[in-house]
Amino acid sequence: MQDNTDQTARTPEEQAEVDRQCQSLALYEYESCPFCRRVLHEIERLSLNIELRNTREDPAARDELREGGGRTMVPCLRITQETGETHWMYESADIVAWLRQRFA
């Protein structure tokens, strides 16, 4: 069942910490992709400030995705770990589950 609970009730300090954590994330997407919209909806619901990289409008973003993740499929969440290692997460359901586990 979809969870529509309002997740925005953070103190300014908590939101600042979430914003800091989101700096290590980027979502590769484009508007007409329904799977991307599902992830974007969750990002909005959780009040996350995640950089969006539109692979239709920005050829450099598409090249980054292909070279880093191995595929041009969207959505893909780029996660840069504290070690500097980069993980490319495909599959909208996996991305939504990961965001909920980390930020809900």
SS3 label, residue 87: strand
CB 74 within 8 A of CB 36: yes
Quick check: 72 binds ligand GSH (CB under 6 A)? yes
Q: How many residues bind ligand GSH (CB under 6 A)?
A: 10
Closer Cβ to ligand GSH, 10 or 37, answer by number: 37
Closer Cβ to ligand GSH, 33 or 52, answer by number: 33
The only residue of 74, 77, 96, 99 in contact with ligand GSH, by rule CB under 6 A: 74
Q: Nearest 10 degrees: CA dihedral of 102, 83, 78, 19?
A: 50
Quick check: 79 binds ligand GSH (CB under 6 A)? no
Strand pairing category for 25-29 and 51-54: parallel
